Structure 1
């Protein structure tokens, strides 16, 4: 393996692995519940080549799609690179050709104008298709059985945006998927393309609007009536990019905004609400309507969580000094003005997970990652440089919080939720847990946790035989859904 920079983005849990492999009948410690029947897909950034610049970051890593297949209590595993245009070009050249994170002006001239996305952020299942997504380009369709890459997906040319979000939302009752692309018509553009696809995966509408400034809109939310777009002051600048600088720089003194519009796409009815300067959130738990009120629950911090985005904006703050928590913003649409209410509803954390059935509706329970005060210093790794070591369950209605805290030298990746057919049971959570076994040696396991009793720890564990790199996001796809995959239907 070539030499990689010895920075936080390439050491610890972020150490490049770069191995495509598969294994059947992995060892299972404990018993996996029979109703867990399907596949847990993971998006894993893993650079196939040493970067062109030593200050490269985790988020530039080539996308790998990983799959735990679980059936009858047995577990198989496979992981492959997503064959993006970028990956194919660099594979042929046997070296990196694309430069700094989301800055095409730093690329090798041989790849000018080529697709830069690495499709490394979120596996998305909808309408019988599995997409690997990253918000700087279109998603890539992947065969959910073989993990072979099929190609870029743009709804047969109907979706005209250059980009597609890593966080679409699916209504559990209508089956519709709501999504968007920002910088929709080019670098540093304020244009946002908002799309709706029916339950069969057909694009039914596309509407464009302008955000107040060009920000990184990583996540958004839907309710039964509205689409909600939080805008945080991490901004792009074309002159900065042309000079070889960072795509994103956080502006601590700039106001945040929230746009709320009818979710069917009436952009003329968008209302903008002004938020506190400098705040940031990358992930939203949920949103729901309550008469004229709209509630938005998000993992909020008082500045950007990514060090490289803060530093590009001249903000020098230690990661441990960032404050925030699970926060509820409430908008009263019956009132004029651009103000809204804010209250803290849970401890700091991120990577939230909700039951799919609760999407856009009042919810009883949700889960997200946090830090265990007794867990010792966090392991190095993950997108922001340190790994979470606790799983929280929160019930916003009554304030109840439960925790599964990990031991010293352990880390946890975002869970996925598997529904249960048992009345009154919240289902199961699947997650990869890492443990430091030596100075530069880490062991990984798949854990199965009862979502109603997370403090009890795993009911089953699957030790992994080879090193694993930290994921970004994951998705659970049931066996019934997999059986309907478009990739397996006759042309």
Structure 2
């Protein structure tokens, strides 16, 4: 195409920005707590060229790594493209060469066999390394001090999987990284590689198993003793891809599944438990053990939240008709044939954040995004085309909900959690907020807004921000982000 199409994947906060910039000493309103020392890294899709096809989607856009760097009360901002093999090939050609989302059969013949990943989904920091990840390929290592791309990361050639999840889990006690890759053996394969890296970032285990169908396993969870793989009926099909079609199509008539195994066990012992029909989830909140019970808390919906995945499966549903809730799946692992019990426990929403120390353990609060009807129509943008406009603090034990709403027409990205060393202090959450230039909802123009980073007391989000960092820019929507402390940055493998 000669220009970007004017669809939901290219307007509002999905408007291509194509800026690699650095800004020092951003304006700060309020006071940044002295303990907040480190960097907030964000994964931002932003296509460097107009796409090959008009029905291109935001998830197919080049990855950029953004950083808010906190240095004794001062904040700097930087953003750069992740120099994947794909990005560099198109940069050299000055045009798009890769076709539809995760479909190599639609690419220009000149890039046959090249790495297609755009590394645009999640920044992961572990073992002193910062990786930019997307689940269709390996992660790319980034210098956390310069944001320069070092190259694909395969654990020194030890990792055999062709893919690396965008959602690994780090055990807060052992420091180990638990991760997986689906389609590990190639396009549309049933292979899943389940892996563990020690606290220093050394790959110590890689085992392969097959899932019941080729599903998009976007996330998984761990407990102290188990690894849990929830999978949902959004399926890939090689014949459909060869015909130029979509990688994913949701099947409303198929069941979901839950795979459970000992986290240090053998994959041959994984148990598959059938779950509800037609449901979908992209992000789990947490999982933990309660005696013989394993509780898994999920951001569950009654169909796939992505319109392009629903439509590829012949499902015609308006976004506002989708039913969702934070839902608890419970399994009694002591039973010879475990079954799954399900219960809705919290309001609908997604892009959940947990305190790092609570990973895989009983927890008493989390944070996630939702839609606040009082915020007016949502700002166009984000991966599904409509942004969230409120932040929830949720207590799963008692169902208590606290909510921070936004100005009319504003949008909020996934929060990051920053712990405090002070006894009794609950830490902070921070998130990028996109605020329309015109406060009148009837006069707002998609794409005309300014982005700020807000810092909230984690246990008092309803009070609003204690500090607002002004970028003076309209930033493109992020997917996921992560907080990295100054101590970890100072000890990173790559230095500036």
Taking structure 1 as the reference length, what is the TM-score of the superposition?
Answer: 0.99
C-alpha deviations, 1:118-145, integer Å up to 9, x for none?
0000000000000000000000000000
Contact 2:434–2:474, Cα closer than 8 Å, also in 1: no
Aligned to 2:471: 464
C-alpha deviations, 1:453-477, integer Å up to 9, x for none?
0000000001112220000000000
Aligned to 1:384: 384
Aligned to 2:41: 41
Across the two proteins, how many residue pairs are aligned to each other?
489
User: What is the deviation of 1:361?
Assistant: 0.2
| Residue 289 of structure 2 is aligned to residue 289 of structure 1 | yes
Summarize the alignment of residues 295-306 of structure 1 with structure 2, pairs less than 5 Å apart.
295-306=295-306
Structure 1 stretch 462-471 or stretch 237-246: which is displaced more? 462-471
Tell me the distance in 1 between the aligned counterparts of 2:254 and 2:345. 25
Structure 1 stretch 405-414 or stretch 45-54: which is displaced more? 405-414
Aligned to 2:445: 439
Structure 1 stretch 180-189 or stretch 393-402: which is displaced more? 393-402
Q: Secondary structure at the match of 2:466?
A: strand
Summarize the alignment of residues 77-156 of structure 1 with structure 2, pairs less than 5 Å apart.
77-156=77-156
Contact 2:332–2:338, Cα closer than 8 Å, also in 1: no
User: What is the deviation of 1:402?
Assistant: 0.5
Aligned to 2:271: 271
Q: Secondary structure at the match of 1:67?
A: strand
Aligned to 1:169: 169
Structure 1 stretch 140-149 or stretch 67-76: which is displaced more? 67-76
Tell me the distance in 1 between the aligned counterparts of 2:275 and 2:394. 25
Structure 1 stretch 294-303 or stretch 396-405: which is displaced more? 396-405
Tell me the distance in 1 between the aligned counterparts of 2:179 and 2:373. 37
Aligned to 1:56: 56
User: What is the deviation of 1:324?
Assistant: 1.5
Tell me the distance in 1 between the aligned counterparts of 2:175 and 2:349. 29
Aligned to 1:217: 217
Summarize the alignment of residues 324-339 of structure 1 with structure 2, pairs less than 5 Å apart.
324-339=324-339
Taking structure 2 as the reference length, what is the TM-score of the superposition?
Answer: 0.98
Aligned to 1:68: 68
Tell me the distance in 1 between the aligned counterparts of 2:325 and 2:252. 18
Aligned to 1:208: 208
Contact 2:144–2:495, Cα closer than 8 Å, also in 1: no
Unpaired runs of 5+ residues, structure 1, are none
Tell me the distance in 2 between the aligned counterparts of 1:71 and 1:487. 19
Q: Secondary structure at the match of 1:317?
A: coil
C-alpha deviations, 1:234-260, integer Å up to 9, x for none?
000000000000000000000100000
Summarize the alignment of residues 216-255 of structure 1 with structure 2, pairs less than 5 Å apart.
216-255=216-255
Q: Secondary structure at the match of 1:256?
A: strand
Tell me the distance in 1 between the aligned counterparts of 2:426 and 2:283. 22
Aligned to 2:21: 21
Q: Secondary structure at the match of 1:352?
A: strand
Tell me the distance in 1 between the aligned counterparts of 2:487 and 2:233. 42
Tell me the distance in 2 between the aligned counterparts of 1:293 and 1:22. 49
Contact 1:274–1:338, Cα closer than 8 Å, also in 2: no
Tell me the distance in 2 between the aligned counterparts of 1:39 and 1:265. 36
Aligned to 1:4: 4
C-alpha deviations, 1:140-173, integer Å up to 9, x for none?
0000000000000000011100000000000001
Aligned to 1:323: 323
User: What is the deviation of 1:450?
Assistant: 0.5
C-alpha deviations, 1:353-400, integer Å up to 9, x for none?
000000000001100000112111111100001000010011111221
Structure 1 stretch 394-403 or stretch 469-478: which is displaced more? 394-403
Contact 1:2–1:49, Cα closer than 8 Å, also in 2: no
Cα pair distance change 1:2/1:458, threshold 3 Å? farther
Contact 1:133–1:165, Cα closer than 8 Å, also in 2: yes
C-alpha deviations, 1:321-347, integer Å up to 9, x for none?
000200000000111325211111100
Q: Secondary structure at the match of 1:141?
A: strand
Structure 1 stretch 137-146 or stretch 440-449: which is displaced more? 440-449
Give structure 1 regions of 4+ aligned residues with deviation exceeding 6 angstroms.
none
Aligned to 2:413: 413
C-alpha deviations, 1:165-206, integer Å up to 9, x for none?
000000001000000000001111000001100000000000
Tell me the distance in 2 between the aligned counterparts of 1:234 and 1:265. 28
C-alpha deviations, 1:51-77, integer Å up to 9, x for none?
000000000010000000012111000
Supply the RMSD in Å over aligned alpha carbons: 1.0
Tell me the distance in 1 between the aligned counterparts of 2:103 and 2:203. 30
Q: Secondary structure at the match of 1:486?
A: coil
Contact 1:295–1:329, Cα closer than 8 Å, also in 2: yes
| Residue 491 of structure 2 is aligned to residue 481 of structure 1 | no
User: What is the deviation of 1:422?
Assistant: 1.8
Summarize the alignment of residues 305-316 of structure 1 with structure 2, pairs less than 5 Å apart.
305-316=305-316
Contact 1:194–1:265, Cα closer than 8 Å, also in 2: no
| Residue 460 of structure 2 is aligned to residue 453 of structure 1 | yes
Contact 1:23–1:76, Cα closer than 8 Å, also in 2: yes
